[in-house]
Amino acid sequence: MKYDVLIIGGGPVGNYLASLLSGKLDVAVVERKGSFGGKACTGIIGAEMYEALGLPEKAVLNAYNGAYFISKGSVFEISRKNPQAYLVDRKILERELAKRAIRRGAEYYLATNFLRFKNGKALVQHLDSQFEIEAEVYVGADGVNSAVARNIGTKTEGEVLKGWELEVLGNFKRERVEVWVNKDINPEFFFWVAPINEEEARVGTFGSIDALAKFLKLRRIKGGNILEFKSGAVILGWRKPWVKGNIALLGDAALQIKPTTAGGIVFGAYCARVLAKAILTGNLQMYEKGCSWVREQISFGLRVRKVFKDLSQEKIEEIFGILSTEEARRIIEERAEFDDHVRTIKALLKSPKLLAKLIRVAPWILRALI
């Protein structure tokens, strides 16, 4: 059988695309694993986008309406009335999206590995047998190490970061995420503590395992209290092109990842919507253009990432001093958007008071961002 669309990779983004297209077109998904979930991923997703994208409520484990920002020398709290972010269960998220797609007619090939394209068809392997699947359009939603991207000869320019994700037992404030910035321990990234409930949380960072070990000590989380330990990787940067002939890349496979937090589910799902429209209208070429919001966020996020890497801990302490002022907290509480860092940072820089303070601390930051 020839499908209209073959999606390679049944992660959250591939399954979301399958749910959007099935019922309208003949869709198949090949997934290497024999079941959904299992990837190292904390599962923090902006609440507004989660709802706007229609992602499944059933996967939500917890909701955060605020955060503690903790540096070496200070702490400040941001609190808002409504939930700003959700913590989701990846397995349930992926399964629910796959269920939606299957109910609408999509066919899933689990435990099936995409090998390469051969004469315009996808060569795949299930157990010890190889066979070909043919489609009008192929979508590589097979993650950062995308075999589809390699096959079509894309160019990757980015920073590879190893990530760590633990589930631990301890005492936590359920409705607050903790964001720890301590470059003496980890020059690469911040640490996060995302409570599942009052006694369990997901803790993680990107960087070295040694940095993670030091953080656990600082946060007083005992090594013996770890319930789950996972590692993974992200690439922050660009992979181009996103479309070659009748093959498109989507999600992590296209590096649709937020450079500030390494979150990829919202950008991937946003681009899935654009791609679904491009496929349905028979105009794949409008896909990249239609994702301009995501491309702008990535481009700005990469500049913010560079600023973060260039900042010393002393400067970070001074910036924490600025961000913990009443004026900054008011702007963040009123205007910040979890998934729109361009808007959030621009709102902060529009305040003459904050701008003057920032110019005193590190004028080069402005040059880097504007």
Ligand X SMILES: Cc1cc2nc3c(=O)[nH]c(=O)nc-3n(C[C@H](O)[C@H](O)[C@H](O)COP(=O)(O)OP(=O)(O)OC[C@H]3O[C@@H](n4cnc5c(N)ncnc54)[C@H](O)[C@@H]3O)c2cc1C
- The residue range among 214-222, 229-237, 298-306, 317-325 that interacts with ligand X, by the rule CB under 6 A, is 229-237
Residue 163 binding ligand X, by CB under 6 A: yes
Assess contact for 232 and 163: CB atoms under 8 A: yes
Residue 212 binding ligand X, by CB under 6 A: no
β partners of residue 203: 166, 193
The least distance separating ligand X from the CB of residue 257, rounded to whole angstroms, comes to: 5
Nearer to ligand X, 212 or 319 (CB): 212
Assess contact for 153 and 119: CB atoms under 8 A: no
Beta strand 66-70 with 75-79 is: antiparallel
Of these, 168, 262, 275, 294, which contacts ligand X (CB under 6 A)?
262
Of these, 83, 195, 207, 268, which contacts ligand X (CB under 6 A)?
268
The residue whose two tokens read 């097979």 is: 142
Strand, helix or coil at 305? helix
Nearer to ligand X, 30 or 133 (CB): 30
Nearer to ligand X, 9 or 83 (CB): 9
Nearer to ligand X, 262 or 345 (CB): 262
The least distance separating ligand X from the CB of residue 202, rounded to whole angstroms, comes to: 8
Residue 133 binding ligand X, by CB under 6 A: no
Strand, helix or coil at 218? helix
Of these, 27, 60, 93, 265, which contacts ligand X (CB under 6 A)?
265
Q: 329 is written with which tokens?
A: 């907290």
What beta strand segments (E) does the chain contain? 2-8, 27-30, 44-46, 60-64, 66-70, 75-79, 85-88, 107-109, 112-118, 121-126, 129-140, 155-169, 176-180, 191-195, 200-206, 226-240, 243-244, 247-249
- The residue range among 54-62, 230-238, 240-248, 359-367 that interacts with ligand X, by the rule CB under 6 A, is 230-238
The least distance separating ligand X from the CB of residue 261, rounded to whole angstroms, comes to: 7
Ranges within 2-61 binding ligand X (CB under 6 A): 8-14, 30-33, 39-45
Residues 6+ apart with CB under 8 A from 77: 66, 67, 68, 69, 176
Q: What residue ranges bind ligand X (CB under 6 A)?
A: 8-14, 30-33, 39-45, 113-114, 141-143, 147, 163, 165, 204, 232-234, 251-252, 257, 262-266, 268
